[in-house]
Amino acid sequence: MLDAHFALQDQKLLGDLSQLEVFVNGSFCRAEDAKISVWDHGLLYGDGIFEGIRAYQGGVFKLNAHLERLFESAKAIGMTLPYGLKELSEVVLETLKRNQLQDAHVRVLVTRGIGKPGVSPVSCVQPGLVIMAYPFPPLLGEKPARLITSSVQRKAPHSVDARVKSLNYLDNVLAKLQAICAGMDDAIMLDSTGCIAETTGANVFAVIRGSIHTPTLTAALPGITRHTVIQLAKEEGYSVTERPMTLGDLYVADEVFLTGTATEIAVVGEIDGRKIGEEKAGPVTSKLIRIYQDLVISGPDVTRIV
Ligand SMILES: Cc1ncc(COP(=O)(O)O)c(C=O)c1O
């Protein structure tokens, strides 16, 4: 019998995370008691979408923007959500409240729902919905990140459009695994033309002679942090250029940093064995980090949990 191989309990693996209250298809339950159908196409085919959101000191940063992107992802994959943005945002806030979380990462997952076997989504009549919130430190830690370039290509726009934050992250997972096997923190993924797309979970920025450059969105998720950072950099008087970028642009940059909700603003210290900057946040990155940290706590786009 295979039982022994499955003896590892949620509790052992996840500790306190298994005790959190999660919202699953209409009601709250403990994470360890949550049930998802084995016929859900989200599980069978990775057919679904998600959002990653952050709360800071009792307020959710850019909640509406994240939920709007979720609705756009749904539309792009031909899925109609049977609820509105306001209802969804209420459940997000309720999830944080029930778990008494002031600082957390929130994951909103929408699956294609239960359906007959076979990739056709036609028999899936009701999308599944899972919302969970949990403590989550910055994804890449505090030290400057060491990156490699992955041989796994970001396939957008030939495959799934990069604007769709889909439940199918296998390309990114494999790229991350390459980085881990190489003893690095993360990987840069290139698009089909060899230009920089993004990392496995964040957008890329370079500071070159005082100006800020970031790859266009052909093969990169339109990150909400990316958009925020572009806006605040412009307000600070920096020139920001969105253009196709090569690895060479990054190798010779004065500063490179990554942006993402889970990642926040992460300093890059090394790419493919080349040292970047002074192995600590450069002047431009430091300034943007400071302003961003204020903005996520007390800016105009914060929804209080109350
Ligand atoms: C592949 C990828 N790129 C970029 C980002 C950054 O997007 P955002 O700033 O909206 O979190 C994410 C975030 O989850 C991501 O998964």
Q: What is the pLDDT at residue 95?
A: 98
Does residue 49 carry a pLDDT above 80? yes
Residues 54 and 166 in one domain: no
Residues 153 and 285 in one domain: yes
Smallest CA-to-CA distance from 219 within 144, 164, 270, 167 is with: 164
Our separate counts of H helices and E strands in the chain read 8, 16
Distances (CA, A) of 183 to 145, 154, 268: 11, 21, 15
**How far is residue 257's CA from residue 71's CA, in Å, rounded to a whole number?**
28
pLDDT digits (tens, 9 = 90+) for 62-93: 999 999 999 999 999 999 999 999 999 999 99
Ligand 1 binding site (Cβ under 6 Å of any ligand atom): 52, 172, 198, 201-203, 221, 223-226, 259-262
Out of 134, 162, 197, a domain closes at 134
Torsion 167-168-170-175 (CA) sign:
negative
Domain coverage including residue 58: 13-134
Distances (CA, A) of 259 to 94, 139, 202, 225, 244: 27, 11, 5, 6, 17
Residues 6+ apart with CB under 8 A from 268: 144, 145, 147, 250, 256, 257, 258, 276
Q: What is the pLDDT at residue 304?
A: 97
Does residue 8 carry a pLDDT above 80? no
- Tell me if 169 is assigned to some domain: yes
Q: Among 64, 152, 229, 261, name the best residue to mutate to test ligand 1's pocket (greatest count of ligand atoms within 8 A of Cβ).
A: 261
Residues 6+ apart with CB under 8 A from 19: 30, 31, 32
Residues 76 and 153 in one domain: no
- Tell me if 33 is assigned to some domain: yes
- Tell me if 36 is assigned to some domain: yes
Query: pTM for the whole thing?
Result: 0.96
Question: Residue 190 belongs to a domain with what CATH number?
Answer: 3.20.10.10
Number of domains in the chain: 2
- Tell me if 23 is assigned to some domain: yes
- Tell me if 3 is assigned to some domain: no
Out of 75, 109, 134, a domain closes at 134
Does residue 255 carry a pLDDT above 90? yes
pLDDT digits (tens, 9 = 90+) for 188-227: 999 999 999 999 999 999 999 999 999 999 999 999 999 9
Question: Max CA-CA distance within the chain?
Answer: 66
Q: Could you tell me the distance, in angstroms and rounded to a whole number, from the CA of residue 116 to the centre of ligand 1?
A: 31
Residues 59 and 102 in one domain: yes
Facing residues of 52 across strands? 107
Residues 88 and 18 in one domain: yes
| Distance between first and last Cα of the chain | 50
**How far is residue 274's CA from residue 269's CA, in Å, rounded to a whole number?**
9
- Tell me if 7 is assigned to some domain: no
Q: What is the pLDDT at residue 64?
A: 98
Mean pLDDT of the chain: 96
**How far is residue 244's CA from residue 213's CA, in Å, rounded to a whole number?**
9
